Structure formats: structure tokens, C-alpha cells
Amino acid sequence: MKKIIVLLILIISSQLVKSQTEEEEKKYLNSQVGILSQPELLAISREWRKLLEVNNGYPDIPYNSNIGSIDFEYIYDYPEFTKQQIFNRVKEWAAIYYGSLDAVLHYEDFNSGKIVLKGNFPFVISDKWTNFWGNPKESARTVRCFYTIIYTLKDNKLKVNYREIEYESTFDAIISSTVYIPSHTISYPITDLYPITKSVSSTWESRLNSLVETSSRIKQRQSVFNYFMGNLKEDMKF
């Protein structure tokens, strides 16, 4: 039986596309050997494989084991730019992208080469649940992701860190003949989303999609940001 359980864990783990958060899923699954029964582990294996197949695998999320959290970090080289030019360009980007520099700027110090911004973006995920009569239901929910960006800069180089990623989401009221749950808003850190397999399986897809949306939106924003930064000299050609 032990061999079968180990095989199940290997099957589950093999479905995880290489990712730094993959290890967190493996650690949790391995911790359940001897706690969950063979049928329970088999059920987890089947559900997990099906979910990853539908969603094209596990997202590539940068997990930082030193701080125990997901940590998006980008390092850029700008050989022709001085520290002052990079400093000014980051603030220019924030003013244009967010519509107001004052609304997002929380700290700046040129001598230490630091700029700190706080921003957010929304996305929509689907929740799956079962109603009072046992019927499967699905509803859309808007989630707002809040983050802190720390820019560390010097001559020719810039480091960008996304930290303190948290979410806020409002759930609609639930009304039935016997139950009433009022509309309510909850806040939670990104670390609550994983290991995904630690949660109830009906929430796996929404948790996975939250990680995918967060990762893809940050990557897209950084791609546009890097283009804007590198286009400084072109802006001055007129």
C-alpha cells in the first residue's frame, strides 16, 4: 500500500509544470501520506490532473523561499542612462500609467536610489459551489489585487520588486428559504492561495486562476514599463 501511495504522489507531482511554487504543492502532498487514505489520495490525483490539463499546467510563479512568499523581481540594464535619468523616468511612468503620481507614490529618496509605489488592478474569476439542494453552481466574482512596487536604482541599472501582494473581494448575498448570508468583503494575502491542494477542491480553479491572472498582468505591465524606460532617447528626438 505504501508503494501505491508514493506512486500517487509522484503522479500528482509529475503534473506540475516546473515552477518555484511547485515545491510548496509537493511538500504539502507528501505531508499527507499516512494521513489521507489511498482512495482520498487517488481522488486528489485525478482532480488535480484534470484541473491542470484544462488550465495548461501550473503557472510559473516566482516563490522566494527566503521570505516565504511569492516575490516578482525584475532587473534591467540601461547602459546609457544615469541614475538621475532612471529616477526621473520611473516617476514619469507612474504619473502617466496611474494617472496621478501623488495617488501611488509613497516614498522616494534619490540618494539611496529608492522609489516605492502602491497600486492595484482588478480581474474576474469564477467560483464553483453547491447550493442547499446539492445542485452545482458557478458565479463570477471581481477580485482586486493590491501590491507594493519597490524600485532600486543606480547608474545604468534598475531593480523592480513587487511585494505585499494582497487581494480584496466582495461576495454577493446568498438567499434561500432557510439561509441568508449578507454580502461581505474579505481581504487576504497571496500566500493564502497556495498550496492549492491544501484547500477544498471546489476552490482549486479559482485559486489557480488568481495566481495566473496576477502573474500574467504583472508580466504584461513590466513589459510595457521596460519599453517605456528604454524609449527615453527616442522621446527626446524632435
Q: For the chain, how many structural domains are there in total?
A: 2
Are residues 48 and 80 part of one domain? no
For residues 204 and 223, state if they share a domain.
yes
**Could you list the residue range(s) of the whole structural domain that residue 12 is in?**
1-58
Distance, in Å, from the CA atom of 126 to the CA atom of 210, rounded to the nearest integer, reads 10
Question: In sequence order, which residues have a C-beta less than 8 Å from that of residue 68 and are 6 or more positions away?
Answer: 191
Among 58, 73, 103, the domain-final residue is 58
CATH of residue 209: 3.30.530.80
Q: Which of 1, 16, 95, 94 lies closest to 55, judged by CA?
A: 16
Burial letters for 45-61: b for 16+ Cβ neighbours within 10 Å, e otherwise?
A: beebeebbeeeeebbeb
Task: Specify whether 7 is located in the same domain as 18.
Answer: yes
pTM here is 0.81
For residue 235 the three cell numbers come to 522621446
pLDDT in tens, the chain (238 residues): 444 444 344 444 444 333 456 677 777 877 888 888 888 888 887 888 888 888 887 777 887 767 777 889 999 999 999 999 999 999 999 999 999 999 999 999 999 999 999 999 999 988 776 665 667 777 788 999 999 999 999 999 999 999 999 999 987 776 766 667 788 899 999 989 988 888 888 888 899 999 989 999 999 999 999 999 999 888 888 8
Beta strands in the chain (DSSP E): 63-64, 69-70, 72-77, 105-109, 114-130, 136-154, 157-171, 174-175, 180-181, 184-189
The closest of 162, 187, 151 to 67, measured between CA atoms, is 162
